[in-house]
Structure 1
Amino acid sequence: MSDHPRPAPPASDLWATVDALCAWLDTDRPAEGREGLLLRLLKLNEEVGEVAEAVIGVTGQNPRKGVTHSWDDVQAELCDVVITALVALRTLTPEAREVFTRHLERVTERSLASARR
């Protein structure tokens, strides 16, 4: 039996992949407990900032730098935000799948119900 974490399952099993990513991150965690949790939550802010940087880069809004990114870069950064959020949720609760599913159902019902009016 190896001391190394097992490889991540295929991306088709989202929550198994999220679990594997959490386990991998936990193997070399520089901060534990509440501080570690807070740092993992703050990672979201970093990733959102990278989305903003990519959007600014794709539109050339920084005249000093010009166009530095593509829309593919923006898509990749948005994916990083989603992954980071799911990992943060899983770090916060082992019932991340259930918490997310219930919340998505509430948001979907509320949003689609207002569209039917």
Structure 2
Amino acid sequence: MSDHVVPSPDLWKSVDALWAWLEADQPDQPVGGREGLLLRMLKLSEEVGEVSEAVIGAMGQNPRKGVSHSWEDVQGELCDVVITALVALRTLTPDPREVFHGHLSRVTERSLGHRPG
């Protein structure tokens, strides 16, 4: 039986649960402090690389491997990027929901603005 609690499907509760799990004293994560923070941010680059690998695989663009991934694999890797980014944001602020929604509002307004009807 696992000691882990299955996170709620609620996005922000799940982000908090994943962040708490990463913040727990884990023997296989010896780097903490500023270095640990930097490594958590760099994890995003790793995940984005996995998206690239999946797209190349889905399109069969590696002659040695051929078609090695599906578009469903790409979707999963994109989800990993989003999850990793939200957990990284939670690492930087105790209220990632407010920060994210505020930023999303600004980007939406800047991008879509008020269009003539």
* TM exceeding 0.5: yes
Scaled by the length of structure 1, the TM-score of the pair is 0.89
Counterpart position of 1:10: 8
RMSD across aligned positions (CA): 1.4
Give the counterpart letter for 1:10 in structure 2. Answer: S
Residues paired across the two proteins, number: 111
For the residues of structure 1 that align with 2:42 and 2:103, how far apart are their CA atoms?
21
Structure 1: segments with no counterpart, 5+ residues: none
Higher helix share: 1
CA contact (8 A) 1:44 1:85 kept: yes
- Segments of 4+ moved more than 4 angstroms: none
Residue number among 12, 23, 28 corresponding to 1:26 in the alignment: 23
- Mapping of 1:53-92 within 5 angstroms? 53-92=53-92
Counterpart position of 2:48: 48
Deviations 1:45-104 (A, max 9, x none): 000000000000000001111000000000000000000000000001112111111000
CA contact (8 A) 1:8 1:21 kept: no
Shift of 1:9: 2.9
Structure 2: segments with no counterpart, 5+ residues: none
Give the counterpart letter for 2:100 in structure 1. Answer: F
Scaled by the length of structure 2, the TM-score of the pair is 0.89
Give the counterpart letter for 1:7 in structure 2. Answer: V
